[in-house]
Amino acid sequence: MGQFTCGLIGHPLGHSISPEVHRRLFALSGTQGSYELMDFPPEELENHLPALRALDGFNVTIPYKQSLLPLLDMVDGRAARYGAVNTIKRTENGLTGFNTDVTGFLRALTQADIPLTGNVLLCGTGGVAHMMACEALERGCVLTVGARTYGKASAFADELTARYPGSRVEPSALAYLSGSFDLILNGTPVGMYPNIKDIPVPLNVARSARAVFDTIYNPTETALLSRVRAAGAKVQNGLAMLVWQAAAAQEIWTGKTFSPEDIDTLCHDMAAYIKEHFA
């Protein structure tokens, strides 16, 4: 095949380093490819479908990981289980949705030696939160789901309990959280560039955690991670997740594979890139 035409849809995308990540991945695999950002508001999603169908593949981020699902022609089993997609491939049968966030998530936890076990707090109810919730519950974690409102958290908890009967899922409004957790998973954009001073949970709750994984990669050290690192917790940002999910997406699009050494080097390079372009 000739040049691959790919991109990312989301809103907003001012923080995104995905074009640079994918440019470097294309170079690593010797693939001719382009990758563009496509930033548009949710009400315009269906209007952009013809242009999206012309691409070889594209990634999906906030706020489209769930809303795009009914517009696809096929959905991979894992993505269907999560109710969220982040990678789309154009096939002879139309647009097929996948979830490679899980690859990035699990590899990032392993890299930081953070076990997905015990009493877990999940912040957020979006697409990436659905994936992390499923992975936590499939491992027998006791899960607290936090959202901006109790009603939103409660609806998410009910959905998860129905999907995983017998599991322990408790809802809470983020502002009113209390207690301590073995692991906090931040699946919200709170703390993302340029609002880098914000944290998604009360400070005393954050500092009580043994480990924190933040899906945010820009900045590489969010205020949340900085506060809990000072309290002695293990921390991991979202950069390794971003790079691994991007590599998994390219494997789906092009069939090319990447070594762990390649990805480790790319993560290091992208951390420097973020500091240079967003400081």
Secondary structure class of 122 (helix, strand, coil): strand
- Give the rounded distance of the alpha carbon of 164 from its chain centre: 22
What the block records as the tokens of 14 is 């001012």
Is 197 an annotated catalytic residue? no
**AA identity, residue 103:** T
In angstroms and rounded to an integer, the radius of gyration of the C-alpha atoms of the chain is: 18
Residues 6+ apart with CB under 8 A from 18: 8, 35, 37, 59, 242, 246
* Active-site position among 65, 152, 234, 275: 65
Omega before 189 cis (within 30°)?
no
Secondary structure class of 95 (helix, strand, coil): strand
Residues classed as catalytic: 65
